[in-house]
Structure 1
Amino acid sequence: MKSIPAGYENDLLTMVEILRITYYLYEFKRNRRGTAPIYCKLTTDGAERQQFSTGLYVTPDLWDKDAQCVRGTSEDAVLINRRLQDITIELKGIERKLYEADGNVSLAEIYSIYKHKTVEEHTLCGIFRERLNKMEQLVGKEYSPATLQKFREVFAHVERYIRTSYNTQDIPIRSVDYRFVKQFEEALIVQGLKAITINKIMQRVRQMVTYAFKCNYIQQDPFVEYRPLKERKRLVFLTQEELHKLEHHHFAQKRLETVKNIYLFSVYTGFAYHEAQALQPKHITKGFDGRNWITLVRQKTDREVSVPLLPQAEKLIAWFREFGSTDDYIQPRISNQKVNSYLREIADVVGIDKKLTHHTARKTFATTILLYNDVPIEVVSKLLGHSNISVTQQSYAQVLNKNISNHIERLEKVLDVQ
C-alpha cells in the first residue's frame, strides 16, 4: 500500500501516481473471426499486478503494440481507441478519489472499485424503450413504419422471455452475457419459430446490445462469439407451366381476379408487396429507350430501383385503372394478410400445389421471368434492388446451378458438332 509523501497531502496537483496502465493484445485467445481480445494490465511501483479483458476485440495486424491502440481511422478503430481512453480516464479517476479520501491507495482497491462501481443502472428493456421512442420520431426519415413494427415485435419477445425466465419485468443490461443470448435463442427454438425468423429476432436484439456497448453501459459485447442458426431455405416460385395456368384462369369472383392480377403484377415487375401497393402514377416515367419505367426507392435497402414495364405489366395497370378503383394508387388497396389468404384459395382452384404468398411473385420474377430467360445475374440483382450482387447469388444459387447445367449441355452439343 502506498501513501502520499509528507507535505503533499493537500496538493493533488503534485500527487504521486502509482498506477501504470498498459494495453496489450492476447493473441492466444483469438476467436473464430480472427480477432483477439484487448487486455488491460495494471501495475504499481511495487509488485502489485492486475489484468482484465476490456471486452474489445481487434485483428492482430491492426494492433499497434508500441502505441497501444488500433491503427487507422475506421469507425471501429475510433470506437475502440475511444473506449480505451475512457477506461484509462476512469481508472485514473478512481486512483485520484482514493488519494483524496485518505491518502492511501492500493491496486486491489482500485480494481475492486472499477469492477463493482455503482453507476446509473441501465436495463435491457429500458434501452429497447429508449431506442423505440427515438425510432418512432425518425419514422419517414431513417426508419419505415414496417421496421419500427418489427422492432416492437422483437421487444415483445424479449419482455416475454424475461418475465417467464427471470420472474421479473426487466434485467440490468450488464446481466446480458453470452449465456443470456444463447438461452434466449433456445427459448425461441422451443416456441417452434423457424431459423430465419429467429436469426432476424437475434439480429435486432444485437443492435440494441451493440448500442449499449457503444454507450459504455457494458464493457463486453456478449454477441462476439455468437453464430446465427443455419437456415434451410427452400426457394418457392412458379414454373412457366404454373404461371401459364394462373394467367389463363379467369375468376368469376372479382376479389380473386383482383388479387390474381396484383400477384401477376409483381411477377412481371419484381416489386414486394409494400412497394407495389405504394406505387402511384408519378412513379411511371419515360425512359431513355422510350419505354415506360417505374422508379422508386426501396424501403428495405434505401436504394433507388428502376424497372422497365414489360407489356404484361402495362396490361395489368390498364386493368387496375378500369376495374380496380385505385384512386391515387396504381393497385387497389388490399392488406397483405388478405392477399395471402386469397392466394391460398387461388392456388387450390387453379391446381398449384405450392404455398402461394405475395413474396413468391418476386421470386418468380427473378427465376422464371429473368434467370430462366438468360438475363445476366448482374441485371437481375439491379432489377431486384439488392444492395449487393452476392445477396442475389446466395438467394438464387440453385437456379444459377441449373442455368450453368443448361449452358454446359448446349456447349457439349456445339463441341460434338465440331
Structure 2
Amino acid sequence: MTSSGTFGVHFVLRSNRQQDGKSAVYARITVNGSRCELALKEYLSPADWNVGKGMAAPKNKSLKQFNSYLEEVRGKLARHYRELQMKGERLTAAAVKDAYGGIIKEKKVDRSLLWVVSQHNTMMEQVLKKGSMKNYLTTERYLKLFLSKQLKTADILLKDLAYEFITNFEFFIRTQPMKESDPCTNNGTMKHLERLKKIVNWAVKNEWIDKNPFTAFQLKFKRKERDFLTELELAAIETQDLENAILQKVRDLFVFSCYTGLAYVDLMALQPANIISSVDGMKWIKTSRTKSDIGVNVPLLTPALTVLEKYSHCSEPSQHEMLFPRVTNQEMNRSLKVIGEICGIRKNLSFHLARHTFATTVTLMNGVPIETISKMLGHTKLSTTMIYARVTNLKIGMDMGLLQNKLGDAGRNNLKDLKE
C-alpha cells in the first residue's frame, strides 16, 4: 500500500525460526527505503506457503482465515503509517513497527534557558559556597533583565540559544549596569559569561541541547595587576599608633594575614585546634581553605605570633572557640581605608591585599620559592600563584645583584689561579 512516499508490507517465512517443523511468519515493512521485520508469533508449514504472493496457499478454511489475519495486520500497519504521516513524524519502517507494537517513544522535551539555569542553581546550592552561589544568582538576574529589556520576552527555548545571543548578552552586561552609575568591568562581564557557559555545557552533557553556542565564543579576561604593600608600607601600618579600638583590631588581623597569607573567611574560622607545634618547637597553622577545601600549612612568623599572643586572652580556650574576634568583611575594609589614610598610604586597602602582600613582599622578596608560596596559599596550580606573587623590579635587581657578585667572585678566583 502506498500514499505520499513509499510504504509496503510483504509477508515472509523464516526457515531459521522453526517450531514443531513449522516456520515463523514475519511482516516485512518497507518505508521510504528503510526496512524492518515484525515477528507475528505465528508458524506455518512451508508446504502451505505461497512464496511469490507472500501469503498462505488457501487450501482450506483454516489457511483462508490465516490470510484474513495477515490482511488485518497489513491494514493496521497502514493505519499507523498514515497516523504518523498526519502528525508530521519522521517516517521509517521502525517507527511504523513501534506504533503497531504500542511503543510510544518519549518526545524530546524542549527546555527553556531559564529553566536550565534555575535547575543548575538549585542543584549547586548544596555544592557551591555561599559567595559563589551569590554570583550565579546575579548572572541569573542579568539574564532575566536581558530577556525582558532586550528581547521583550520572559524566556527562550534552550535550542534557540545561539552565538548571536551570547554576543548581544555580553554587550548588554557592559552597557546596562545592575546599579546606576556602576557599569560592569570587562572581567566582571567575562565572569557572567563564564558562568553561563558552564551552565550551557551542563545542558549539553544532559543532551538537552544539540549544539553548544559557546563553541566559537572566546572569553577574554584582562590580566589585572594585583596591588600589594611594600616593606615600608607594611612597617608603617604595623607601627602606627591607633587610638580607636576597632581600628587596632582590624590592623592586627590585617597584619596577621600579611604574615600568613590567610583569606578573610579562613582567618575568621581559625580555632585553637588549628595551631600546632612541630618537633623543633615552631608553631604552625594547619587548616583548610573554605573556598576550595585544600589543606594549608603555614609556619607562624614572629609578627604573626605577636598578634596571636595578643588575642590569647583565655588561658584555657575552648577547642570550638575562634582565635580572633569577629569583624565583618565590610567593617574590615571600611576600617582599612581609614588606616590607609592615617598611614599616608594611597593604595586602595582591602583585606585581600594582605594575601598579595604575603605572596610578594613577605615571601617572594625574601627568597621563598614560588612552589612553597603556592603550597602555603592553598593553590593547586602554580599559574594561580603567579597572579599574586609577581616578580617585581626590586626582586629582579636583588637577584641580578647576587648573580653579579657570584660572577665577580668567580672572575677573581679564576684570575688568582692564572697568576699562581
Q: Would the alpha carbon gap of residues 382 and 98 (structure 1) be closer, same or farther in structure 2, given more than 3 Å must change?
A: farther
The question of whether the paired residues in 1 share the 8 Å contact of 2:231 and 2:361 is answered with: yes
1:337 aligns with 2:326: no
The question of whether the paired residues in 2 share the 8 Å contact of 1:304 and 1:385 is answered with: yes
Q: 2:398 aligns with which of 396, 406, 409?
A: 406
| Matched positions, count | 329
1:290 aligns with 2:281: yes
Distance 1:12 1:273 in 2: 74
Distance 2:284 2:27 in 1: 71
Q: 2:118 aligns with which of 117, 122, 129?
A: 129
Partner amino acid for 1:410?
L
Distance 2:26 2:194 in 1: 48
2:7 aligns with 3
1:176 aligns with 2:152: no
The question of whether the paired residues in 2 share the 8 Å contact of 1:4 and 1:99 is answered with: no
- List per-residue Cα deviations over 1:162-218 (Å, max 9, x = no partner): 221122322222222111111111222223212222222222111111111111111
Secondary structure of the structure 2 residue equivalent to 1:413: helix
Partner amino acid for 1:128?
V
The question of whether the paired residues in 1 share the 8 Å contact of 2:7 and 2:29 is answered with: no
The question of whether the paired residues in 1 share the 8 Å contact of 2:260 and 2:300 is answered with: yes
Distance 2:296 2:336 in 1: 27
Superposition deviation, residue 17 in structure 1? 7.0
The question of whether the paired residues in 2 share the 8 Å contact of 1:301 and 1:387 is answered with: no
Superposition deviation, residue 393 in structure 1? 2.7
1:246 aligns with 237
Superposition deviation, residue 410 in structure 1? 2.3
1:77 aligns with none
1:379 aligns with 2:335: no
Distance 2:78 2:240 in 1: 83
Partner amino acid for 1:411?
L
2:254 aligns with 263
Superposition deviation, residue 228 in structure 1? 1.3
1:272 aligns with 2:249: no
Output aligned runs, 1:3-402, within 5 Å.
3-7=7-11, 14-16=28-30, 100-102=80-82, 110=90, 119-136=108-125, 138=126, 142-190=127-175, 191=177, 192-322=183-313, 328-399=321-392
The question of whether the paired residues in 1 share the 8 Å contact of 2:247 and 2:339 is answered with: yes
Superposition deviation, residue 344 in structure 1? 0.8
The question of whether the paired residues in 1 share the 8 Å contact of 2:261 and 2:356 is answered with: yes
Superposition deviation, residue 406 in structure 1? 2.9
Q: Would the alpha carbon gap of residues 187 and 12 (structure 1) be closer, same or farther in structure 2, given more than 3 Å must change?
A: farther
- List per-residue Cα deviations over 1:75-104 (Å, max 9, x = no partner): xxxxxxxxxxxxxxxxxxxxxx99942399
Extract unaligned runs of 5+ from structure 1: 20-43, 46-96, 112-116
Q: Would the alpha carbon gap of residues 338 and 103 (structure 1) be closer, same or farther in structure 2, given more than 3 Å must change?
A: closer
Superposition deviation, residue 287 in structure 1? 2.8
- List per-residue Cα deviations over 1:116-153 (Å, max 9, x = no partner): x97423122212222222223x2xxx322222222222
Q: Would the alpha carbon gap of residues 406 and 132 (structure 1) be closer, same or farther in structure 2, given more than 3 Å must change?
A: same
The question of whether the paired residues in 2 share the 8 Å contact of 1:132 and 1:152 is answered with: yes
Superposition deviation, residue 109 in structure 1? 7.2
- List per-residue Cα deviations over 1:44-92 (Å, max 9, x = no partner): 79xxxxxxxxxxxxxxxxxxxxxxxxxxxxxxxxxxxxxxxxxxxxxxx
- List per-residue Cα deviations over 1:274-316 (Å, max 9, x = no partner): 1111111121122344322212221322211111111211111
Superposition deviation, residue 264 in structure 1? 0.8
Among all aligned residue pairs of Structure 1 and Structure 2, give the percentage whose two residues are the same amino acid: 27
Partner amino acid for 2:115?
G
Extract unaligned runs of 5+ from structure 2: 13-24, 36-76, 92-105, 178-182, 412-420
Q: Would the alpha carbon gap of residues 5 and 294 (structure 1) be closer, same or farther in structure 2, given more than 3 Å must change?
A: same
Superposition deviation, residue 318 in structure 1? 2.0
- List per-residue Cα deviations over 1:332-369 (Å, max 9, x = no partner): 11111111111111111110010000110000000000
When Rg is computed on C-alpha atoms for both structures, the one with the higher figure is 2
Q: Would the alpha carbon gap of residues 203 and 158 (structure 1) be closer, same or farther in structure 2, given more than 3 Å must change?
A: same
Q: Would the alpha carbon gap of residues 104 and 340 (structure 1) be closer, same or farther in structure 2, given more than 3 Å must change?
A: closer
Secondary structure of the structure 2 residue equivalent to 1:166: coil
The question of whether the paired residues in 1 share the 8 Å contact of 2:276 and 2:286 is answered with: yes
Partner amino acid for 1:135?
M
Distance 2:84 2:153 in 1: 41
Superposition deviation, residue 405 in structure 1? 4.5
Tell me which moved more, 188-197 or 310-319: 188-197
TM-score (norm 2): 0.71
Superposition deviation, residue 6 in structure 1? 3.5
